[in-house]
Amino acid sequence: MTPEALAARVLYRDGLMLVIDKPAGLPVHGGPGGGPNLEALFDALRFGLPHPPALAHRLDRDTSGCLVLGRHRKALSKLGKLFQEGRVEKTYWAVVAGKPPAESGRIDQALRKLTRKTGWRMVADPAGQTAVTDWRLRGTGDGIAWLELSPRTGRTHQVRVHCALMGCPILGDPVYGPAPAPTVPLHLHARAVVLPLYPKRDPIAVTAAPPDHMRAALAACGLSESEAGAGAA
């Protein structure tokens, strides 16, 4: 990813925020070991302001789609409050193994972080943090299903864990999917975000087209090319 390529992935821009189409496989910030990350390229997203934007929330390294950035400190504070109060509507598309038990539903399962010498993962625990995800079935293919998911809380790996707990792990999930390790990328995409950023205006709604590695599976589940398109409103 080059700075120019990242700038070309801007889906929405105004004086307070940007929404970019995050590519799958690139972490949003550098870990302890360093390495390529999105934050290192944010200087290309100043668009005339004195400082680069900063993350208003996070997406997993292998998740693609709508990522919100605040363009300055006051904007980040305002965006942070919206996310904390649960006023930001987030919609994910996932392709999962198997088929869910109904056409739609709600998963209300608290989660906690389990850390071991071999690493960490999120696990179901009634004593953990509240985690709620609404979902609906959008289509099915040969042994797979296309789900639209709306997390009502923002726990780490929430959508991935909840799909696995439903018996439908997301394709390509190396942590919550069945062994052996998958040979395809994670099929999870942050499809849309809706933010009531300005009190006297309509909420800002932005969508991101699914990444190339998900298109065949989504098409097999009934997604048309016209519906896959993206834009901002």
Per the listing, tokens 């997301």 go with 170
**DSSP per-residue codes, 84-121:** HTT-SEEEEEEEEES--SSSEEEEE--EEEEEETTEEE
Can you name the residues that pair with 15 across neighbouring β-strands?
none
Under DSSP, is residue 141 helix (H, G, I), strand (E, B) or coil?
A: coil
What's the CA gap between 204 and 233, in Å, rounded? 6
Handedness of CA 180, 181, 183, 188 (dihedral sign): positive
**Catalytic (active site) residue 21:** no
Tokens found for residue 212: 């190339």
Residue of 21, 43, 60, 173 marked active site: 60
Cis peptide before 180 (omega within 30 of 0): yes
Distances (CA, A) of 109 to 58, 157, 207: 21, 13, 27
What's the CA gap between 150 and 59, in Å, rounded? 14
What's the CA gap between 38 and 22, in Å, rounded? 8
Catalytic machinery residues: 60
